[in-house]
Amino acid sequence: MRADGRAFDELRPITIITDYTRYAEGSALIQIGDTWVLCTATVEDFVPPWLKDRGQGWVTAEYAMLPRSTLTRTPRESKGLSGRTQEIRRLIGRALRASIDLARLGERNIIIDCDVIQADGGTRTASITGGYVALALAVRRLIQAGVVEPPIFRSPVAAVSVGVVNGEPLLDLAYTEDASAEVDFNVVRNAAGHFIEVQGTAEGEPFSRETLDQLLALAEKGIAQLLRAQTEALR
């Protein structure tokens, strides 16, 4: 039994509130246990200079943690982004670009802002899962406005963390579990069953192929539940 009473293969409670903010073209507040992330989508009618006149759009992401999203205050990154923040931004962007047809988006840029309100592990995976909902809402509104065609959607995307703690594979690590994990993975997968990204590290001893297979199976189970939560929120 885990500290919060969950089984080894159980997600934390999930809530996704759509249209959480007033002005963004799409927004969602995702709560996974005590990790809360506000995701907003902004549509711009231009693309980065390196994509100009190429007839396709772009999706990018920004990520930040509010100073008191953590147990002690985390200073704002006013003097430049940390390597961790830059890596998470790129991960979210790669994951969400896989969910839509960029050619059908036209020369538009969609920025997904993921702001962590409260952090208790899995902030990057929650950002991807909630970020997809915000992106889908924004794209739906482009379809309703008649500026893009419905086949723009590919396959919904979600993400979850898995790891080995005290020798046992676990799904959806809370912070205390993540901090003591012997193996730590972040897995991004779409509804078609295809992996987009797998980030895995042995924090101590190397792990076996058997352990890898166990963790991927746990991740697939968790992601299937997250995809259902996205579908229900978007309904």
For residue 136, the SS3 value is: helix
Q: Do the Cβ atoms of 160 and 172 come closer than 8 Å?
A: yes
Give the pLDDT confidence score for residue 18 in this predicted structure.
98
Eight-state DSSP code of residue 98: T
Q: Report whether 18 contacts 133 (CB < 8 A).
A: yes
Q: What is the pTM of this model?
A: 0.96
Asked whether residue 27 carries a pLDDT value surpassing 80, the answer given is yes
Q: Cβ contacts of residue 73 below 8 Å, gap of 6+?
A: 67
DSSP secondary structure letters along 19-53: S-SSSSSEEEEEEETTEEEEEEEEEESS--GGGTT
Enter the tokens of residue 180: 């003591």
What is residue 147's three-state secondary structure?
A: coil
Mean pLDDT of 133-156: 96
pLDDT at 154 over 80: yes
Per domain, the residue ranges of the chain are 14-234
* CA nearest to 102, candidates 57, 138, 133: 57
Tell me the per-residue pLDDT of 82-118, one tens digit each, with 9 for 90 and over.
Answer: 999 999 999 999 999 999 999 999 999 999 999 999 9
CATH superfamily of 14-234: GHMP Kinase, N-terminal domain (3.30.230.70)
